[in-house]
Amino acid sequence: MNAIKNIKEKIKKKIPIIGTLVSINDSSITELLCDIGFDFIWIDMEHTPIVKKDVHFHIMAAKGTGAATFVRVAWNDPILVKPILEMGPSGIIFPFIRTSSEARKAVSSCLYPPKGIRGFGPRRSIKYGITDIKKYIERADTEIWKIMQIEHIDAVNNLEEILNVEGVDAIMIGPNDLAASIGYLGQNDHPEVKKVMNIAAKKIVKYGKPFGVSIGYNPTTIKEWIERGVNYIEVGCDIAFLLQAGTQVLKKTKKIFIEGKAEN
């Protein structure tokens, strides 16, 4: 759990926190991305074929690199969250949080009674028994980030109530679905979409919660979100990196064959 402490410390010192998303089952991808130097890895179970076994290996691959591991579960369901918690991630990302009651449900699924409903059965999170159980219980509720993903206009309208829920540790904006919720899917640069983004950002910054966004790599977009006050940012993903690098290598190699000269 030291990784999340590092994230919190960087936020205090206003050090940029940059992460990326993994969607491929092979945990070697996570190991490589962590070794490159990303601060956190977003392990996505919502839109990818990644299953629990894969998550376990991805989290293990990040160990020793200093990178935090945030797992986005498929839905805000305690049954889906419980086994992931036992693997010892740095945080859980809850998609499509729209109301304070949904936020409370998310938080509750991560906390032991009497504060929450989490069942007891830690495995990797207690180093398979090496960690003292009492010490683990004392810190378990506070050292796993509960991240609410804001990706619907209802969530923006209810954002103050969501931010006031005890145990909500951080906010992550999902621009694509947020744009879709107001009728502009695929149009994140539309003025109406940017207006909603700005409203959400102002509310989050006002409450002082750690504030992140998930986007592809676009220098202009990154600058806009920095101006909105983000503390951490998720840029790109494993498949995008393969696509971009693979396309460039293929293009340049073809050019060498055609023109007979190399490009750096």
d(CA 76, CA 95): 7
Instruction: Render pLDDT for 197-206 as a digit per residue (tens, 0 to 9).
Output: 999 999 999 9
**Prior bond to 114 cis, omega within 30?**
yes
**Selected residue with higher pLDDT from 259 and 154:** 154
Tokens of 169: 């540790």
Q: Please provide residue 205's backbone torsions phi and psi, each rounded to the nearest 5 degrees.
A: -60, -40
CATH topology for 2-259 is TIM Barrel (3.20.20)
Give CA 173 to chain center in angstroms.
10
**pLDDT score, position 260:** 77
Confidence of residue 264 (pLDDT cuts 50, 70, 90): low
**Selected residue with higher pLDDT from 1 and 209:** 209
Q: Which residues contact 206 (CB under 8 A, 6 or more apart)?
A: none
Number of H helices, E strands in the chain: 12, 8
**Selected residue with higher pLDDT from 64 and 155:** 155
| 47 labelled catalytic | yes
Distances (CA, A) of 207 to 69, 210, 229: 24, 9, 12
Instruction: Render pLDDT for 87-130 as a digit per residue (tens, 0 to 9).
Output: 999 999 999 999 999 999 999 999 999 999 999 999 999 999 99
Q: State mean pLDDT over 137-142.
A: 91
Give the domain ranges of the chain: 2-259
Q: State mean pLDDT over 218-227.
A: 97
Q: State mean pLDDT over 26-36.
A: 97
Q: Which residues contact 207 (CB under 8 A, 6 or more apart)?
A: 160, 163, 164
**pLDDT score, position 255:** 92
Tokens of 159: 């954002």
CB atoms within 10 A of CB 15: 13
Among candidate residues 47, 58, 152, 190, the one labeled active-site is: 47
